[in-house]
Amino acid sequence: GAVVSQHPSWVICKSGTSVKIECRSLDFQATTMFWYRQFPKQSLMLMATSNEGSKATYEQGVEKDKFLINHASLTLSTLTVTSAHPEDSSFYICSASKPGEETQYFGPGTRLLVL
């Protein structure tokens, strides 16, 4: 199997606070994890590629200082939304791939609402 979990599944926070979202591969080691953002009724937008033990690679237009990504182990990547604002409210989804494989296994997503 290839199961990816995310925690929390949903979070509500006040504007200006920071929120951490975890992405875990439960039954395999993931050298690469991807973070996506999805606004209502829109498609997924790739934010960054996270490689274990190295700095994340961010897509154009994504602020690396605002969306901090840490991939400290082969089964865990975290996304921290710093100084969150209402416009950061979105559905954040991670995916993980096994070494040498193209298939991405997606997590269930985390819904963030910033008040």
**34 is a site residue for another protein (CB under 8 A):** yes
Q: Which among 22, 1, 108, 36 is positioned nearest to 73, based on CA atoms?
A: 22
Q: Which of residues 53-112 bind another protein (CB under 8 A)?
A: 60, 91, 93, 95, 97, 102-109, 111
Among 25, 30, 32, 67, binds another protein (CB under 8 A): 32
Q: What are phi and psi of 87, to 5 degrees?
A: -70, -10
Strand partners for 77: 23
Q: Are 97 and 32 in contact (CB under 8 A)?
A: yes
Query: In the complex, what is the shortest distance from the CB of residue 4 to another protein, in angstroms, rounded to a whole number?
Result: 8
Give the binding site for another protein (CB under 8 A).
4, 32, 34, 36, 41-46, 49, 60, 91, 93, 95, 97, 102-109, 111
